[in-house]
A = this chain, B = another copy of it.
Amino acid sequence: MIKKGDDIGRLIVECVKDQGDDVRDSDVIVVAQKIVSKSEGRVVDLKDVVPSFFAREVARRTRRNARHVEVILRETSRIVRMQKSHIITQTRHGFICANAGVDRSNVSGRSHVVLLPEDPDESATAIRTSIFQLSKRDVAVIVSDTFGRPWRLGYVNVAIGVAGMNPLKDYRGTKDLFDRTLTVTMIAVADELASAAELVMNKADGTPVAIIRGYSHPGGNGSAKDLIRPQELDMFS
C-alpha cells in the first residue's frame, strides 16, 4: 500500500533483498504507474473538484460523472474521439489513451481517482537514481500502464516512462538473412518489456513491480516520449 512520499526505488531494493536476491546491472525494472502516481500524490478526491461548464457538457454527452470528466480534461491536451461513454484523449505528455489515463481502480476511497505521473520519465529517472544510490547497480526503469488499442481487443501494458535505456531498438541499415535492408526498422522494445512484465504483474494481483533479467537492452538514455508518433506522421488521430 503505497502512500505519498514513499521512495519506490528504496522499496524495490528492500523487497528484492527480502527475497534473498539483489538488483543487478542491466536489470530492467518495470513499475506499475499506479504506485508511482500514488507515491507522487497524484490522487484527487472527486469531492474537491468543481467541474467546468465544458466538463459538465462532456459528462452529459458521455453520461459520465462530471467531476471525473473535469479531472480527465485537466490532464488532456486534445480530445481525439468521443463516442458513447468513451473519451479518448491525448494527455499532457502526448500519449493517446482513454480518459487521459485517469483511473479509478486500485485506489482506496470510492471518490478518489489516480492521475498519471506529471512526468513519467522523471519518475523513472528518480527510481533509477534511488536504486543506484542504494545498490550501486545501473538498472533501466520502465513506468508502465495498460492501454487499449484501436482495432484489437484487450489492453496491453506499455511504457509511459523510461530511464537508463532507449525505448526503441533501431534496425535501420541492418540487413536481413538474405542481405536485404530490413523494412521493419524500429521495434518498441520498452513496450514489449512492459507487456512481458504484465504477464507476471497481473492487474488485480497487487504485484506492481517486475524485474526482467538477462535481456540485453539497447542502452542509451532515452525517453518514453521517443515512443510518441508525431501527429503529422499519424494517420489515425
Contacts and interface: CB of A to CB of B under 8 A. Distances in A.
Interface of A: 81, 83, 86, 88, 95-96, 103-110, 146, 149-158, 167-169, 171, 174-178, 180, 182-184, 186-189, 191-193, 195-196, 198-200, 203-204, 206, 215, 226-229, 234-237
A215 B202 CA distance: 11
Contacts of A156: 187-188, 191-192, 195
Contact of A105 (B107, B176, B198, B234): B176
A192 B158 CA distance: 10
Nearest to A94: B151
A230 to B, nearest CB: 8
Number of copies: 2
Given A86-B235, A153-B227, 8 more contacts: A83-B235, A95-B151, A106-B176, A146-B187, A150-B237, A154-B168, A156-B188, A196-B199
B184 A105 contact: yes
A203 B204 CA distance: 33
A168 to B, nearest CB: 5
